[in-house]
Chains A and B, each alone.
Chain A
Amino acid sequence: MYLLWKLASRNILRNTKRSILTILLISTSVIIVIFSDGFVVGMTDNMVKSATRVFSGDAQIHHPEFLQSYDPSYRFNLSGLVKSLQDEPLIAAVTARSISPAMISSSANIKSVQAIGINPDTEKHLSKIESSVIAGNYLTGDTTTEIMIGYLLAEALEVTLNDRVVLSIPALDQSDVSQDLFRVSGIFQFNTKMMDEGMVFLPLEHSLQLLGDTNSIQEVAFNFVNPKLAEDTSLQIWQKYSSNEQVAQSWTEIFPTLSTLLGMLDYTMLIVGLILYMIVALGVINSMFMSIYERTWEFGVIKAVGTTPQQIFQLIMLEGFILAIISAVIGTLLGLLVNYLVAINGIDYSQIEFVGVTIVDPVKTVIRPIQYSQLPLWVVLLTLIACLYPAIFAARLVPNKALHKSL
C-alpha cells in the first residue's frame, strides 16, 4: 500500500503542468461553490430580514381569525405574554401592537389608514421604525398628542411636523367612533408604498384607550436570536404560545408568497449547481484520461511484469484522491477568503423593491460550517467518482496492445 502511495504521488509530480491544471480546475470549482453558497445564503437571509425585520418580525401571534379580515375585534389577552416570551432563550425581542382601521383627517383632506399602537421601547429592538424617521422624532411615550405618519401620507394630507390631525377609530364595542387630536410628531419613510401612505403609529396605551379595551391587543411580534429559527417548524414555541384564543405563526406562514419564491429560487440554484458539478467532472475525467493515455505504454510494461489490475485501479484512484485532497484544501481556504472579503462591503441592492420588500442592507456573503465541512468533501467524492471510469479503463488495459503504443 505504501508503495502505491509513493507511486501515486510521484506520478502526480511527474507531470507538474497537468497536475497543476487539474488542481486548478477542481479547486476553482470548490471556490465557486463556496462563494455561491455564501452569496445565496446571504441574499436570502437579507431578503427575509428585509421583509421581517423592517417591521413585521420573525413571527407573530394573533387571534386565529384576525389575519383574514384584520378586524380588530379579533383580539386576545396580553396577561404576561410579553414577559413570558422575553424569558425564552431563543427569542431576542418581543413587542405588542394594536392594529385597527382608522381615518385620519387634516384641514385639507381625509384618508383611511391602519392605526398601529406601539410600545416605543420594545418596538425599537424589533423593527426599524426608529431608523426610518426622516423628520421629527420617534415616539417617546411622553406626550398624549404624538403620532407618526408616512411621508406619502403627509403629502396627501398636506401636513408637516406639528400640524393638527384628528384620528378617528371605531370603538371595539361598535358603539361609537373615538376621535382624538394629534400633532404630527414624526414622519417616516420605509420606501414601501403601503407603509408610507397607509400606516400611522401612536403609543399603545393611547390607541387601546381609543379602541375602548386596554386589556387586549391584536398582535404580538417577536424575533428569534437567529432569523433562520423562524423556518424551523419543530420548535416548541409554536405550540407553547398557541391556544384557542391565539395562534403563533412564523413569517413563512404569514407571508407565503415570499416563502414560496425563495423555495423556487433554491431549487433552480440546485439544478444550476448540479450542472456546474457535471462540467467539472467532465474536466476531471478529461484530465485523468489524458494522464492514463500518456502512460499507456508504461501500464503495458508494469502489467506485463505482473502488476494486477486491482493495483492499477488503486493507483489511479489514489492519484485522483491526492489531487482531490490538495484541491479541496486550497479551494476551501481560498473560497472562505473570498467570502470573507466580499462580506466586508457586501453587494448593494437597495434600489429594488421585491414583493413589497426592499433589501435595505447590502447583501453580505455568509460563512457557515457547511462550507468548510460538507462542500469540499462532496467535491472530493465527486472527483473520485469521476476517476472511476478512467481507473477501470486503465485496469483493463491489455498488456500487449498497450505495449504497441509508443509515444
Chain B
Amino acid sequence: MLVFKLALRNILRNRSRSLLTGLTMLGSYVLIVVAFSVQEGTYGNILSLYTQDNSGHIQITHKTYQDKPSLYKTVNQPDELISQLESFQFVTSVTPRIHSAAIAYGSQKTTPALLVGIDVIREQNTSNLANKVSNGQFMSGKPDSDGYFQAMIGGGLARQLRLSVGDELVLISQGADGSLANDIFMVSAIVGDINAPERLNVYLPLTGIQQFLSMPNRVHQLIVLIDDYRNSIDRTEAIKTSLSSDLIDAGLDAFPWQIIEQEFYRVMKADIEGNVMSQYTIIFLVCIGILNTILMNILERTGEFGVLKAIGTTPRRIFNQIVVEAFLLAVLSCLLGLIIAIPVNWYLVTVGMQMPEPVDISGVFVESIIGYMSLWVFVRPAMIIIIAATMVALIPAYRAAKLEPLDAMRSL
C-alpha cells in the first residue's frame, strides 16, 4: 500500500529524528516489559509456592468440607479417583491428605497437636515438605520391626515436648468410629523450627493414621497440582464435568485454590488492580515522552504538507499518513526492542534479582525477585506503546490535515 511505503520512506528519510523517537519508544518498551515481568513474577512465585504447599491448585473433598471441615467428611476409596485424576493431561501430581487433631504426650507434658496424614511418596512429589525437614530423615511409610509407624513433628512441638529424632511420640485422639485412639510413633524427623507455620503439626504416614483413627481407606482431601496454576478455575470445571457422576454420587466436589484461599485471592486481585493504576501512569508518561518528538516531527514538515495539499492530497490522506508513520515507528521500535527484551527477561526468569534479605513465605525462603516469561509479557507492552504512539499522533495529524496550503508553504 502506498501509505505504508511512504510512511517507511519518511521514517528512514530523517534518520536522526526517527532514531530519537524510536529510541524513546524502544527504551520504554523494554522497561515496561521488565516492569510487567517483575510484577507478574513476584506474585506468581508467592502463589506457586504457597498453593503447592498448602491448598494445592485444585482439591477434591466432601462438598461441605471447605466451609466446615470435620473428621467424618471423607473421600472414600480414593485410589480410583486418584488414577482418574492422573489421567488428565494437565494434572502433574495428586496426593491424598488426612487432617485431625490429637493430644501429644512427651515425658511430662501434654500439648495439642495437628495431625496431617500424608502419602509418603506422593507428597514428596507434590509439596515442599521434604525441603522443610530440619533434622532427621523424611519418614518411611512402613511400620518398623516393632510395629510402630514413624512420625515427623513440627519444631514447636519438638520443643514443647522435648522430643528429638528417635524419640517416642504418644498420640491420643478419638477415632472416626468414636473409639479411643492411642498409639506410639517414632519420631523420624523434625520439620521447620519453632516459628514455622508447621510448628504444631505431626505428619503421619497415611496407613498409620488411617489405622490410628479407624478410618481405613478414607481420606479428607485429594490435593491436585496442574501444569499452570493460573488455569485452576477452568481445569476445575473440566474435572467436574468429566467426573461429574463419580463426584456427585460420593457427595464430593472439586475446588480451585481461588475458592479455597478466597481471602488471599481477593487481596491479590485488589493489588493487581492497584497495579493497573501504575500501568496507566506508565502509559501517560510514555505518551508525553513521545509527544514531543512526534509533534516536532510534524511541525517541521508543515511546509511539506502544504505542498502535498496544494497538489491535491486530501486531508484524509495526510491524516492517515501521519498516523501510520507513528504507528509504524512504534511497531518497528517494539520489534527491535524485543531483541533486548527477550534476553533481559530470560535473565530475570532464570536468575532473577537478589533481594537484600530473603523473605519467608509459607516456610520457604524466597531470595530473589523472579520474572515471568510469557507471550503476554511481551505483547501487552507493545500494545501499550503502539496505541500510545498512535493516539499521540492523532491531534497533530488532524491539525496538519486541516492546514491551509498557502500558510503551510510559507514555512518553507
A interface residues (Cβ-Cβ under 8 A, vs B) = 17-18, 21-22, 24-25, 28-29, 32, 36, 68-69, 256-257, 260-261, 263-264, 267-268, 271-272, 275-276, 278-280, 282-283, 285-287, 289-290, 293-294, 349, 351-354, 407
**B window 1-51: CB within 8 A of A:** 16-17, 20-21, 23-24, 27-28, 31-32, 34-35, 38-39, 42
Q: In the complex, what's the smallest C-beta–C-beta distance from A114 to chain B, in angstroms?
A: 13
Can you identify 7 A-B contacts, CB atoms within 8 angstroms? A25-B292, A260-B359, A271-B369, A272-B35, A279-B289, A286-B21, A353-B267
A68 in complex: contacting residue of B17, B160, B264, B369, CB < 8 Å: B160
> Which residues of chain B from 278 to 295 have a CB within 8 Å of any chain A CB?
278, 281-282, 284-286, 288-293, 295
- Which B residues touch A261, using CB under 8 A? 359
- Check A29–B285 contact: CB distance below 8 A: yes
Nearest chain B residue, comparing its CB with the CB of A286: B24
Supposing A283-B288, A283-B289 touch, asked if A68 and B156 sit within 8 A by C-beta, the answer is yes
Bound complex: CA A263 to CA B42 (Å): 13
B162 to chain A, nearest CB (A): 12
Complex contacts, B264 vs chain A, CB 8 Å: 354
Binding site for A on B (CB under 8 A): 16-17, 20-21, 23-24, 27-28, 31-32, 34-35, 38-39, 42, 111, 156, 159-160, 194-195, 263-264, 266-267, 270, 278, 281-282, 284-286, 288-293, 295-296, 300, 353, 355-357, 359-361, 366, 369
CA distance A286 to B291 in the complex (A): 10
| Most chain B beta carbons < 10 A, residue from A68, A276, A286, A289 | A286
Task: Please give, as numbers and ranges, the residues of chain A lying within 8 Å of B24 by CB-CB distance.
Answer: 282-283, 285-286
Give every chain B residue within 8 A of A36 (Cβ-Cβ).
278
Residue of B nearest to A33 (CB): B281
Among the listed A256, A267, A275, A287, which residue makes an inter-chain contact with B292, where contact means beta carbons less than 8 Å apart? Answer: A287
How many Å lie between the Cα of A69 and that of B278 in the bound state?
43
B20, A352: Cβ atoms under 8 Å?
no
A69, B111: Cβ atoms closer than 8 Å:
yes
Establish whether residues A279 and B160, one from each chain, have CB atoms under 8 Å apart when the complex forms. no
Contact A276 B285 (CB under 8 A): yes
Closest to B279 in A: A272
The total number of A-B Cβ pairs within 8 Å is 122
Listed from nearest, the 3 A-B pairs whose CB atoms lie closest are A283-B289, A354-B267, A25-B288
Contact B20 A290 (CB under 8 A): yes
B28, A282: Cβ atoms closer than 8 Å: yes
CB nearest neighbor in A for B42: A268
Judge whether A279 and B285 touch: CB under 8 Å.
yes
Cross-chain contact A278 with B156 (CB below 8 angstroms): no
A353, B263: Cβ atoms closer than 8 Å: yes
- In angstroms, Cα B21 to Cα A396, docked, is 22
Residues of A near B359 (CB, < 8 A) are 260-261, 263-264
Contact A275 B111 (CB under 8 A): no
Residues of chain B with a CB closer than 8 A to A351's CB: 266
Cβ of B195 and Cβ of A32 under 8 Å apart? Answer: no
List, in ascending order, chain A residues with CB within 8 A of B355's CB: 264, 267
B296 touches A18 (CB 8 A): yes
Cα(A68)–Cα(B32), bound, Å: 45
Q: Could you tell me if A267 and B289 are in contact, using CB atoms closer than 8 angstroms? A: no
A residues near B288, Cβ cutoff 8 Å: 21, 24-25, 28, 283
For residue A331, give the distance in angstroms from its CB to the closest CB of chain B: 13
**Which residue on chain B has the smallest CB distance to residue A407?**
B300
Per the bound structure, the CA–CA distance linking A287 and B39 in Å amounts to: 29
By the criterion CB–CB under 8 Å, are B360 and A256 in contact?
yes
List B contacts of A290 (CB < 8 A): 20, 292-293, 296
Which chain A residue has the least Cβ–Cβ distance from B358?
A: A260
Residues A276 and B17 in contact, CB atoms below 8 Å apart: no
Most buried by A among B284, B290, B359: B359
CB distance from B151 to the nearest CB of A (A): 19
Complex Cα distance, B286 from A285, in Å, reads 13
Main secondary structure of the interface of A (DSSP, over half): helix
Distance in angstroms between the alpha carbons of A21 and B278 in the assembled complex: 21
CA distance A279 to B270 in the complex (A): 26
Distance of A36 from chain B, by nearest CB (Å):
8
In the complex, what's the smallest C-beta–C-beta distance from A386 to chain B, in angstroms? 11
Contacts of A275 in B (CB 8 A): 31-32, 34-35, 282
Q: How many angstroms from the CA of A263 to the CA of B361 in the assembled complex?
A: 12
The CA-CA distance from A22 to B295 in the complex, in Å, is 12
A193 and chain B: residue at smallest CB distance: B263
Known: A25-B285, A263-B357. Is A279-B27 also a contact (CB below 8 A)?
yes
Contact indicator B289/A282 (Cβ below 8 Å): yes
CA distance A280 to B267 in the complex (A): 30
Q: Is the CB of A282 within 8 A of B27?
A: yes
CB pair A272 B266 closer than 8 Å:
no
Give Cα A294–Cα B20 distance, bound, in whole angstroms: 13
Interface centre among B281, B286, B289 (most CB of A within 10 A): B289
Given contacts A264-B42, A271-B38, contact A279 B194 (CB under 8 A): no
By a CB distance below 8 angstroms, the chain A residues around B17 are: 293
A69, A263, A293, A407, most chain B CB atoms within 10 A: A69
Residues of chain B within 8 A (CB-CB) of A22 are 292
Q: Are A32 and B281 in contact (CB under 8 A)?
A: yes
A18 to B357 alpha-carbon distance, docked (Å): 44
Known: A18-B296, A353-B263. A268 touches B289 (CB 8 A): no
B residues in contact with A25, CB < 8 Å: 285, 288-289, 292
CB closest chain-A residue, reference B297: A290
Distance of A285 Cα from B19 Cα, bound (Å): 12
Are B28 and A279 touching (Cβ within 8 A)?
yes
In the assembled complex, the Cα of A257 lies from the Cα of B295 at a distance in Å of 50
Q: A63 CA to B354 CA in the complex, in Å?
A: 37
On whether the beta carbons of B293 and A28 are closer than 8 Å, the reply is no
Report if A28-B285 is in contact (Cβ < 8 Å); known contacts: A263-B359, A264-B359, A268-B42: yes
Q: How far is the CA of A290 from the CA of B14 in the complex (A)?
A: 13
Q: Which of B31, B39, B357, B366 contacts A278 (CB under 8 A)?
A: B31
Q: State the Cβ distance, B276 to closest chain A Cβ, in Å.
A: 13
Residues of A within 8 A of B290 (CB): 283, 286
Chain B residue numbers with a CB within 8 Å of A272 are: 35, 38-39, 278
Q: How far apart sit A280 and B164, CA to CA, in the bound complex (Å)?
A: 58
Most central of A282, A289, A407 by chain B CB within 10 Å? A282
A389 CB to nearest B CB, Å: 12
> Bound complex: CA of A22 vs CA of B296, how far in Å?
12
* B270 in contact with A267 (CB, 8 Å): no
Give chain A residues whose Cβ lies under 8 Å from the Cβ of B23.
282, 286
Q: Within the assembled complex, what's the spacing in Å between the Cα atoms of A256 and B361?
A: 10
Of chain A, the residue at the smallest CB distance from B28 is A279
C-alpha gap A264/B23 in the complex (Å): 32
Residues of A within 8 A of B292 (CB): 18, 21-22, 25, 283, 286-287, 290
A contact residues around B38 at 8 Å (CB) = 268, 271-272
B369 touches A267 (CB 8 A): yes
In the assembly, what is the distance between CA of A276 and CA of B42, in Å? 18
> In the complex, what's the smallest C-beta–C-beta distance from A301 to chain B, in angstroms?
19
Beta-carbon contact of B285 and A286 below 8 Å:
no
Beyond A69-B156, A275-B35, A286-B23, 4 additional contacts (C-beta under 8 Å) are A22-B292, A32-B285, A283-B289, A354-B264
Q: A268-B38, A272-B39 are in contact. Are A352 and B289 (CB under 8 A)?
A: no
Give the Cβ gap from A20 to chain B, nearest Cβ, in Å.
10
